[in-house]
Amino acid sequence: MSQTLFSISADRGWGQRFAIAAQDLREGFGLWRLAWALGMSDIKLRYRGSMLGPFWLTLSTGVMIGAMGVLYAGLFHTDIHSYLPYLAASLILWNYLSLMVSDGCTCFTVSEALIKGMRMPFTVHALRSVARNTIILAHNVVVIAVVFLVMHVGVTWYALWSFAGLGLWLVDGFAVALLLGAFCARFRDVPQIVASVMQIAFFLTPVMWTASILNKNRPASALVHYNPFFYILEVVRAPLLGAPLPLRHVAVAVAISAALCVAAALGFARTRGRLAYWM
Amino acid sequence: MTHLTAFNISVNFPLYHSDNRSLKKTVFRSTAGRNRIGQDEKHRPVVQALRELSFTLGSGDRLGLVGRNGSGKTTLLRALSGIYQPTQGSLSMEGRLTSLLDPGQGMNMDLTGRENVRLRGLFHGMNKTQIAELEADVEEFAEIAQFIDLPVRNYSAGMTVRLAFAMATAVRPEILLMDEWILAGDANFMTKAKRRIEAMVRHADILILASHSAQTILEWCNRVLWLDGGAVVADGRPLDILARYLPPEQFAELAASRLEPPAA
């Protein structure tokens, strides 16, 4: 709101829509410090007055992974020394992904008061959601570090590729928030649909189990082969665990992300002018 | 130069979450002019909140909006803030705009006053020193003492208003849009607020104020827009418009209290 020239007119088709959406993105990224501070305050507020604060996240994740690690290593008859690090990395990364999707759904509707109160780039709300969930991830990463230390998992320079994958995830998370946030603001049933899709995806994606179990079972391995979540998950998880990451997996993940970005750009340009009306 | 031009602005609210069929019946049944429920070009039912409003404001203009509840005052303020993209028409302006639409607006009730001020500073793209100055200014003006470090949820209504007003005006808006809740302040604060607004308007800025209080409108405004059913009924000098808008006995009272003959 601090820029001095402003004009807006009724919808004039795609040219104007893309121009307005691009301006929103530009102004929104210019306010990244605000988005970060808002995301921070969300986490602070959630744990204000509690002794451990956001480290409750770390603690509860740690306890869950410890318990599940013992149980599932037994169920799958695998060695806990190799299974526990896998489970810790998989589960924490999956939680991040799934939280970005479900939180992205409500990124505009939870900010209704702000949206109706002042003109602020919608991009800020999407960035805030990404920031909030990334802060949660940062607290949970401690658990991965502890598990790796205790289980003597060797970490090499190769693991740094995870950060490149994480960069891709940030882009994806932002695109998903813009796309689903707008869609869910208009159709209030969508968050429920998305939640059940994510639940199903959790069981169909190799998170608790490894893809290699399915090698002999063709129809089941097709489920993994055509599962977009698998490729997205792999670009961060494989380098972190020191597992090989085929170039094909990277290419598929990048292609999925590109498709997401195109969909988000189209969706956001189409809905931006109407979002405030849908609150 | 600060200016604000609204050209032929209409705002229609879509009615998605209601029973379309029975609504359509209502729409077709009523043909009277006052009906607010209409259809858009795709035959979906809509509420016509604003209908083809046009006006131009320049430096020093202080526009008062009057009209019954639901006449479109707040929607007009929101549309002018750039929150609603108009369904028809266009809007253009030059000048830093701040809107004070409701007291808690833009504030997180669970955060402290100070944290809210910091967020507002970031929203305006300020750096650390500027934010510190903003904090000091708001603290001084809002007079909420140690409450600044308590969550806004614990404030009285008056304190919330003072904080919101202080935040909105500390960044020197050139165009200020206000809804009537500003009246929730006590007399002492109102005097202070008025002084600040006057200083602002003296610097050739624009004020748009929606209010049900004729007294406030007379004190603060030099032009009045009377809205009804989302359309302009009249536009002109405050006393002229109020003479037509207010019931005669209320206007007589108002004129008497002003100790001035009403304009002919």
pLDDT tens readout for residues B7-29: 999 998 888 765 555 555 555 55
A33 vs B: CB within 8 A: yes
d(CA B182, nearest CA chain A) in Å: 15
d(CA B152, nearest CA chain A) in Å: 13
b/e burial code for range A176-187 (CB count within 10 A of at least 16 → b): bbbbbbbbbbee
The complex scores an ipTM of 0.83
The neighbour count for residue A199, using CB atoms within 10 Å, is 12
A91 or B161, higher pLDDT: A91
pLDDT of residue B32: 42
What's the pLDDT tens digit per position in A97-146?
Answer: 999 999 999 999 998 888 888 889 999 999 999 999 999 999 999 999 99
Looking up tokens 């006057």, which residue turns up?
B198
Whether residue B81 and residue A2 make contact (CB cut-off 8 A), yes or no, is: no
B261 domain-assigned: yes
| pLDDT at residue A230 is higher than 60 | yes
B145 domain-assigned: no
What is the spatial distance between Cα B158 and Cα B143, in angstroms, rounded to a whole number?
11
The domain containing residue A246 runs over which residues?
30-278
A148 domain-assigned: yes
A153 domain-assigned: yes
What is the spatial distance between Cα B82 and Cα A122, in angstroms, rounded to a whole number?
12
Whether residue B106 and residue A118 make contact (CB cut-off 8 A), yes or no, is: yes
CA A145 to chain centre: 20
Domain count, chain A: 1
What is the spatial distance between Cα A265 and Cα A45, in angstroms, rounded to a whole number?
32
Average pLDDT for B244-262: 77
- Interhelix angle for A161-186 vs A80-105, to 10°? 40
Domain count, chain B: 1
Identify the weakest region by mean pLDDT among A80-94, A223-237, B129-143, B185-199: B185-199
Contact A148, A233 (CB under 8 A): no
- Name the β-bridge partners of B226: B66, B234
Query: Which H/E stretch holds residue B232?
Result: strand B231-236
d(CA B79, nearest CA chain A) in Å: 10
The domain containing residue B11 runs over which residues?
1-15+49-96+176-183+210-264
B88 domain-assigned: yes
d(CA A5, nearest CA chain B) in Å: 5
A23 domain-assigned: no
B170 domain-assigned: no
pLDDT of residue A35: 95
Contact B74, B13 (CB under 8 A): no
A15 domain-assigned: no
pLDDT of residue B27: 54
| pLDDT at residue A67 is higher than 70 | yes
DSSP 3-state of A77:
coil
| pLDDT at residue B96 is higher than 80 | yes
**Domain of B2: which CATH number?**
3.40.50.300
A17 domain-assigned: no
A260 domain-assigned: yes
Contact B150, B113 (CB under 8 A): yes
A225 vs B: CB within 8 A: no
Q: Could you say which of B16, B95, B101 has the minimum Cβ distance to residue A4?
A: B95
Chain A residues with CB under 8 Å of B98 CB are 1
The neighbour count for residue A197, using CB atoms within 10 Å, is 11
DSSP E strand boundaries for chain A: 5-9
Whether residue B78 and residue A116 make contact (CB cut-off 8 A), yes or no, is: yes
What is the spatial distance between Cα A227 and Cα A234, in angstroms, rounded to a whole number?
11
B152 domain-assigned: no
Chain A residues with CB under 8 Å of B99 CB are 117-119
Whether residue B89 and residue A48 make contact (CB cut-off 8 A), yes or no, is: no
B115 vs A: CB within 8 A: yes
A18 domain-assigned: no
d(CA B228, nearest CA chain A) in Å: 21
pLDDT of residue A2: 45
SS (H, E, C) B138-184: HHHHHCCHHHHHCEHHHCCHHHHHHHHHHHHHHCCCCEEEECHHHHH
Query: Which H/E stretch holds residue B51?
Result: strand B45-57
* Confidence at B200, pLDDT banded by 50, 70, 90: confident
B134 domain-assigned: no
A218 domain-assigned: yes
What's the pLDDT tens digit per position in A155-203?
Answer: 888 999 999 999 999 999 999 999 999 999 988 889 999 999 999 999 9
**Residue from B122, B150, B160, B172 to probe the interface with A (highest A Cβ count within 10 Å):** B122
Torsions phi, psi for A47 (to 5 deg): -115, 15
Which string of DSSP letters, residue by residue, matches B181-194? GGGGS-HHHHHHHH
What is the spatial distance between Cα A79 and Cα A76, in angstroms, rounded to a whole number?
9
What is the spatial distance between Cα B2 and Cα A259, in angstroms, rounded to a whole number?
43
Residue B114 corresponds to which amino acid? R
The closest of B241, B175, B228 to B204, measured between CA atoms, is B175
The closest of A137, A178, A187 to A261, measured between CA atoms, is A178
B30 vs A: CB within 8 A: no
The closest of A105, A83, A88 to A186, measured between CA atoms, is A105
Whether residue A6 and residue B92 make contact (CB cut-off 8 A), yes or no, is: yes
Whether residue B91 and residue A8 make contact (CB cut-off 8 A), yes or no, is: yes
Under DSSP, the state recorded for B85 is P
A157 vs B: CB within 8 A: no
pLDDT of residue B167: 87
